[in-house]
Amino acid sequence: MSVDTIGDFLTIIRNAVMVSKFDLITPFSKMRLALSEILKSEGFIRDFEVVSANGSDVRHDCLKLYFKYVDGESPIHKIQRVSKLGRREYARKGTIKPVSGGLGISILTTNRGVMTNKQAKRLGVGGEVICTVW
């Protein structure tokens, strides 16, 4: 069992996109839910839902992601972990850089919650850079 649950979540998404899966089920956590909300709002996935454990053989709640494909191609070309367990990466409000010329996003955890680099720049806050998606 891995300690880096965010890294595991990103790897699960990366592997599912590589084999063109339409959906996947992963264990639930609040951070995974926040990342899924951002991926949906930015148009990288079609939808997600929390699958309850009540009445099923699963003990814990799960998160089900539905991927989006346009002409057989996923909007997620690369999803990469930036801040790792051994080396955290932080960005100040003035040093947040655009990803891939503005075509991608960075996801940050700030004191105002989990948000994209564009939202953080607009609000004038910095934070830990979790991952980049393009």
pLDDT along the chain (134 residues), means of 10: 88 97 95 98 96 72 96 95 95 89 93 96 96 96
What is the residue-wise DSSP string for 50-99? EEP-TTSS-SS-EEEEEE--BTTB-S-S-EEE-S-SSS--EE-TT-PPPB
Measured between alpha carbons, how far is 10 from 77 in angstroms, rounded to an integer?
Answer: 13
Measured between alpha carbons, how far is 31 from 109 in angstroms, rounded to an integer?
Answer: 10
Question: Could you tell me the pTM of the whole model?
Answer: 0.92
Which domains, ranges and CATH numbers included, belong to the chain? 5-67 (3.30.1370.30), 79-133 (3.30.1490.10)
